[in-house]
Structure 1
Amino acid sequence: MTTPPDSHATQPGEHLRDPAPSRGLGDSTRAIRAASRSPEILQRPTAVPIFQSATFTSPDAESLAAMVADGRAGCSYSQLSNPTTTALGAAYAELAEGRRRARRRPVDRPRCGHAGQRLNARD
């Protein structure tokens, strides 16, 4: 298969190569640059990936400040927020709303204790 010269098609793993020559750079600089290139993922994950430690880029300081101060959508640093905690929060909110709706129904439901929380048997 041939690709046009202006195509961005690459060989597997090519996107992980440093676009700038790293000759003359120290090991520390080369290690940081290598760790700063995200792998290309062609498949969509079936579960939310775990972001244990990461920083995220912003177009400028103003948009970063607005996101952090005003709670706008986005992530700045994984210990503050990240796609994993956002997905967890959304799942919790969905479950909590289901619990609120279930409490409004006049049905006697058995309850059980689980990890310090009271859950409906139908949850």
Structure 2
Amino acid sequence: MSNDCNASKSTRQHAEQTQEDKHMSNNHSSNPPSYISNIVDLLKRIGINNITSMEFDTIISILYDEMSDRNLAESLSYATGEDYAMCLNRVYTVVSKNGISLKEKARMQIILKNNGYEDDIW
């Protein structure tokens, strides 16, 4: 029984590592997975590559309340073409600082909503 448990754990770890390797490869020649495709489309519609650093951080802050760290980083990676690990680091940096003003959040929420964002988009 112990061997089955260890084998199952090993299989899970391998699957998680394989998924992590996929993220780290930054090979976005394919479409994003269905579980984040709505967010990736939204980020592209708002021109995620053409916004200020403060706006980018504000969007992270808004979406962080509704997404896991990794799904948010993966969405950002697909939308921007940036490396997954860099996006995940940015997510961690933004949420640890907590320096986004309510006024800026409200302004960016309007932009997001005007481009199809809903609180339960994904």
TM-score per shorter chain, which class? under 0.3
Which structure is higher in strand share?
A: 1
TM-score, length basis structure 1: 0.25
Q: Rg: which structure is higher?
A: 1
Which structure is higher in helix share?
A: 2
**Which structure is higher in RCO with an 8 Å CA cutoff and minimum separation 6?**
2
TM-score, length basis structure 2: 0.25
